[in-house]
Amino acid sequence: MIASHLLAYYFTELHHDKVQQVDKYLYHLRLSDENLMDVSVRFRREMDKGLGRDSSPTASVKMLPTFVRSTPDGTEKGDFLALDLGGSNFRVLLVKVSDNGKQKVEMENQIYAIPEELMRGCGSECPHSDHGVQTTLFDHIAECLANFLEKMGIKNQKLPLGFTFSFPCQQNKLDESILVSWTKGFKSHGVEGKDVVSLLRKAIKKRGDFDIDIVAVINDTVGTMMTCGYDDHHCEIGLIVGTGTNACYMEEMRHLELVDGDEGRMCVNTEWGAFGDDGALEDLRTDFDREIDAGSLNPGKQLFEKMISGMYMGELVRLILVKMAKEKLLFQGHTTPDLLTTGHFQTCFVSSIEIDKDKEGLVSAEKVLRGLGLDPSGEDCVATQRVCQVVSTRAAHLCAATLAAVLRQIRDNKAAERLRTTVGVDGSVYKNHPQFARRLHKMVRRLVPDCDVRFLRSEDGSGKGAAMVTAVAYRLATQHAERQRILDALRLSREQLMEVKIRMGNEMNRGLAKESHDQAAVKMLPTYVRSTPDGTERGDFLALDLGGTNFRVLLVRVRSGKKRSVEMHNKIYTIPQEAIQGTGEELFDHIVHCIADFLEYMGMKGASLPLGFTFSFPCHQNRLDQGILLKWTKGFKATGCEGEDVVTLLKDAIHRREEFDLDVVAVVNDTVGTMMTCGYEDPLCEVGLIVGTGTNACYMEEMQNVELVDGDEGRMCVNMEWGAFGDHGELDDFCTDFDRAVDDRSTNPGKQRLNGGNHISVSSFSLFLAHRYEKMISGMYLGEIVRNVLLEFTAKGLLFRGKLSERLKTRGIFETKFLSQIESDRLALRQVRSILQHLGLTSSTCDDSILVKEVCSVVARRAAQLCGAGLAAVVDKIRQNRNLDKLKITVGVDGTLYKLHPHFSSIMHETVRDLSPLCEVTFLQSEDGSGKGAALITAVACRIRDAGQH
């Protein structure tokens, strides 16, 4: 034994020189910060290769999907089994997760050994030996599992099990794991290329004395992340530095090209131990690394792991000591059989030698060296300690470099200036080596200073993690089933959509018939528009487009001939609140004042032109130039207008001004205006559709079917007012509780007497109060439907962890524009979260964002399909009216929902094609609004009038 005074002497006089000598000798094992940053950049490139569909097959870093979609959220509970296999011993665990106000985990476990002959012998389906069927690896595991269940008294229960299988595997789903290659000394044949879950199930079934539900298979890295994620919800990285090394982390699905879907996150098992297998680290590997690789069970594989992990660290030190001894730099040039024997310098020796307390490490060095048959001097002990320090420091720093790449990936995914995250860590080297963790932490913070990283040691091993993965999978499956049950009420089958189409067709016929018109929900109002543009229209026309607090006055110049064109000039005016809420005279005087201003602006003061009036409020018409206002909507309350002809009100205001006269030729709504606008571009356009704040449709109907108007010749545009479809119960079996929550229509018994002495029946008047179909389709209501679904989900604990924000309780707070934004393919989920944060949901998670997006998608899809079913009824009716086997027709469309929602139009088109296969429907989007349409109706009416037609 070296005396303590000699130790002190060697430390003070010789330590520094010997350390320098070793450092010089091991120069290539000492990596600068620049070297490490370069390693980090290289590893990030390898990560990208592993994530790519085309580059993954040849990537050394495989970035394997684990199908673990979420970390624990604190609501998991139940009894779970776990099996933890990753070395010569394995554990079986019973994990009880309870939630009595505060979540609690209790564990019972038993450790079982795996005999050497099974580690390197048969994995499964061994041939018969002289003594019968051989015991295979998985037979042994099943036997140990049976023993544990017997011991715990639960052999008759079928519990869910999570299987930690800590070897490189390819997963296609959570409960399937195909072994890519054995590591850590295992060579059991018949397993590589096989699904280990199937092998275990087969071994259990062969026994027949118990049954379990294998829910998930993971590796120890994922188990570590999940174990630590239970204690710290910021944990999204798992790291193992023990016998082997590996890392996993939560990656954005949009980067995982090997898995379908681009929403949410999935844990990726990097299998970073193989980093460098393609030569990416060749300039950093030393002759010692190459010698270790050559003597391993898997030459050329797991090269990064062989530079870091506990399985190789001690051997690396031994090879260095042997070489230094042979070069007479240590032990006076002497070696011993033990020093020359592979594996005799264990990694635990490195840990004991590096203890930095009262020179205890040097004492350990002398003890280890003497145990190898050497007679070390104090100088030899100092040199041996320094070799251990260099080797373990390189390992810690290389580990830090790759971990820094993972941290940068997560930070970039979140577009965060500064990342706050937790790394769950396990493994004998990290836990037992006295300096490894400190060196790793310090270097990580130097390489990624813009990341606040907490390192959390896993105290319960990856077995608990497997149970937590299983618990999370059970929670997700239960929650998913409940969410889908709720959302299924909003999903419509093809048969249901066909039924909607049929019922819409029936209501159209009822609305057209004189006898049933008053009882029909779909009023099918005649517009007295008898023709669409034919291209011969010409002249200058004024148009007035009134449908909200802003309105437009337009001058539309229509030119016919070879160079037919429409030239438009317009000016937007605001209607003050006092006019909206005042008298009808005040409102129409203001409108006429704006018309006068526009004519002066255009240098046409005093001109008398034909005018078309787009008046987007519910009206009853008896002719083209008459519109009796049934009910103000959109916040208008001007008195003395309801029940009156708005054309007469406008003409009276013009006469009061006594500056000009106008020929009001036509009054139309915005739907008819849209059809006429698009009809000018496409002669086949005979249908107009609005899907915006509200929804409506019009189309050219055969006069013989329009029983409210005399005459059977020709066609007339019918304003369907289809928003009221369902008000008489036609859609009750398709309505959900969410629709009923939105539908707050009032009751109006008896008849309503409107100004001017006109009597409007209850059925006519209630059309503008209920709007059942409109409330299932249009932009005014979709956001409110979504809000009600989100409230239901939250109340059931399926969203936002059951915590409801006060803002979300506010009616109308979830605007329909949010649906378009949330469903935009270009919108990252972090931006969805910003919308939720705006709604006071500051603690919403990535999973919450995915679910909110799904709710928006389901609600919008139903709206588009219902709209498509209604439109299918329209085009099919036109085809049947004309006795055509095949109809070719164009639909003119306008409205913010149709134009701005990223998927509404395509779903609607698809539904129309599916439900009306005999109709070839083209959709033409209106770009110029209904004001131009009003002018074109006026032009058509003037053309017909000038031709002497009535």
Helix (H) or strand (E) holding 200: helix 196-207
User: Sign of torsion, CA 132 135 138 139?
Assistant: positive
Q: Concatenated DSSP letters for 392-439?
A: HHHHHHHHHHHHHHHHHHHHHHHT-SSEEEEEEEE-HHHHHSTTHHHH
Comparing C-alpha atoms, which of 459, 646, 458 is closest to residue 551? 646
Q: Which of 552, 861, 879, 943 is catalytic?
A: 552
**552 catalytic, yes or no?**
yes
The dihedrals phi and psi of 203, each to the nearest 5 degrees, come to: -65, -40
Q: Which of 352, 616, 764, 926 is catalytic?
A: 616
Cα separation, 795 vs 802, in Å, equals: 6
Comparing C-alpha atoms, which of 327, 940, 236 is closest to residue 612? 940
How far apart are the two ends of the chain, measured CA to CA in Å?
124
Comparing C-alpha atoms, which of 153, 159, 150 is closest to residue 78? 159
Cα separation, 525 vs 531, in Å, equals: 16
Cα separation, 26 vs 123, in Å, equals: 42
Q: Is 527 helix (H, G, I), strand (E, B) or coil?
A: coil
Q: Could you tell me the two tokens for 122?
A: 């048969």
Among the residues of 338-377, which ranges form H helices? 347-353, 360-371
Cα separation, 780 vs 696, in Å, equals: 13
Helix (H) or strand (E) holding 865: helix 846-881
Q: Which residues pair with 542 in a beta bridge?
A: 555, 611
Helix (H) or strand (E) holding 893: strand 887-894
DSSP 293: H
CA 944 to each of CA 320, 483, 529, 536: distance values in angstroms, whole numbers, following the listed order: 103, 58, 11, 11
Comparing C-alpha atoms, which of 919, 816, 930 is closest to residue 863? 816
CA 42 to each of CA 39, 46, 499, 745, 934: distance values in angstroms, whole numbers, following the listed order: 5, 6, 60, 64, 65
Comparing C-alpha atoms, which of 659, 665, 626 is closest to residue 540? 665
User: Sign of torsion, CA 809 812 813 817?
Assistant: positive
Q: Is 152 helix (H, G, I), strand (E, B) or coil?
A: helix
> CA 299 from chain center: how many Å?
42
Question: 343 and 297 in contact (C-beta within 8 Å)?
Answer: no
Question: 879 and 918 in contact (C-beta within 8 Å)?
Answer: yes
Cα separation, 630 vs 213, in Å, equals: 65
| Rounded (10°) CA dihedral 140, 146, 152, 157 | 140
Q: Which of 670, 739, 848, 894 is catalytic?
A: 670
The residue with tokens 């006469």 is 655
Q: Concatenated DSSP letters for 692-741?
A: SSSEEEEEEEEGGG-TTSS--SSEEEEE--GGGTTTTSTTGGG--HHHHH
Q: What number of CA atoms fall less than 13 Å from residue 238's CA on the CB side?
A: 34
**616 catalytic, yes or no?**
yes
| Rounded (10°) CA dihedral 377, 314, 327, 276 | -150
Question: 160 and 213 in contact (C-beta within 8 Å)?
Answer: yes
Q: Is 334 helix (H, G, I), strand (E, B) or coil?
A: coil
Q: Percentages helix, strand, coil for the chain, rounded to the nearest 5?
A: 45, 20, 35
The dihedrals phi and psi of 906, each to the nearest 5 degrees, come to: -65, -35
Comparing C-alpha atoms, which of 519, 498, 499 is closest to residue 509? 519
Active-site residues, by number, are 552, 616, 670
